[in-house]
Chains A and B, each alone.
Chain A
């Protein structure tokens, strides 16, 4: 399986290299019908991306500014360092590669999904791109077929109680939008955790929970208040709250903090720093057995010995 991953990686890398070489030649003519001279310049392997109105091939007059004459940038075009143009061309190439892989590689493993998301520079965020969705045995349809006995498209508490006695306490936990009946809107991304307000709440919570232990204490609440009350007035206005919660916008031209460039991200992906490259068991598969010790060494747990009771596994680390 590791070997398979490596082979695919090689294929992707090779493709990336080929594209990087040819990108510059491809890009300029597509932007606008080029004058003959620009087409000639574009056909040359260097420079990476000629400006749209690039003059004839060398020798051209140096820019009057006197900076880096080797670049042959006409005075009218703003100065752009060669490496920036090279990086922009690489980005564009990687995006093209991402688009192509996305289009032509339909049945792909999760690591490829991550690679493509990186290539396409998709936003990493709740519910957008990048992360493969979960797979679950039960959904709204499953529930409706079993519990919607009168077939009206919703499950009322009485229906659930009649079909599954003893389940009363579970009803409220399933009714995520708290309208007193179970419908499709209680499930999937429209349910708990998926609504805009839920996303805002998780953002607010993350801001409040300074030590990230999943619990907000009175002290943390007080610290947040003091920090948000910039004037020290002893109260908060909506504007104070907004300023305290909203991340500052990245400076123009700067990447998001903590977010490496796509090339670095790819390297991190294939060195296993972004996520395991292995697929893991699929829905309905027998869960791979393992024996591990608890952190305090007190006992050893063997998964297969836990049969007879459902088991939740929570994979994660400190950071």
Chain B
């Protein structure tokens, strides 16, 4: 008899284990009317894999800093319960894999029953979770996503909002600056990925229309180990401006190799990576960053409430500066979420989503207002390192300093 039980017990236990691990613990289900102890925000993000460095720089510390700041003030005030509720982040590693990001987002919403979602890093992952969060009406503010495609299809994903400035505005600023400086000839190079293609699609026609002759246009594979030949070609073409649409590893490689081959273009612009503190301190150490332009832009000097304070607290907490582009947008996402909750007076995601879509928010990147779910203004779209700070050189009222042109010579190593 006992043996019979043993026979059945094992498979039953295995099946039970299987089901239990799949089910997992139920999240907080607040009894209606009773305030939850904490606002749990789910955050599936790359803690390992190729996206991890960028997430570790721009997104994770800013999110965590925001949580610290909110909790230091007692929490977010929710009118429905008439009290301040502290915030906590529930973070999972999506291993830089889009499929995992989607699944973890669903797990957070469906199983862990989080109250809100902070998105993962990068255009691909954000693109992938946009339909998911919209299916569940979970408002999500993307701060490291740059995609014309997504912006164009935004109405299909009503719960997804873009906080970061997008390629069209950055491209326009770049071209405007080039024109202003009297750039006559340019070389445009970019990597084989969506980012590069979108920028090129925007910028190339604008450059030609603006009277800048694009003498050389070539692409290279993402993650290339040697760009020296391409750069020598650019050098031989003796252009005024070198414009590159690239990711940090390629931007850094390019900078190093430009110095090696002894080519100092009068204008050097690369999209991603230039705005990182590590660019100024390590890659282009010794003042080599001076005069290099890049996509961006935010810095502690912008005329937005709390900008300098955020910078100081970031340095104090992580012993590293925030980057000069997306970090602030990610902190601002938290601020927007908080203000939306306060204005909606409830933790109901649908109501908060409406508040985000309709509202105007006061953040460290200035006043944020969403049009077709994407933020319309940003402190700057193009920046240049001048005297150790990445200053906004957009033409117009946002300009903090006139661009330096031509770029100073690379300092001796």
Partners in one complex: no
List residues of chain B with CB under 8 Å of any chain A CB. none
A residues lining the B interface (CB < 8 Å)? none
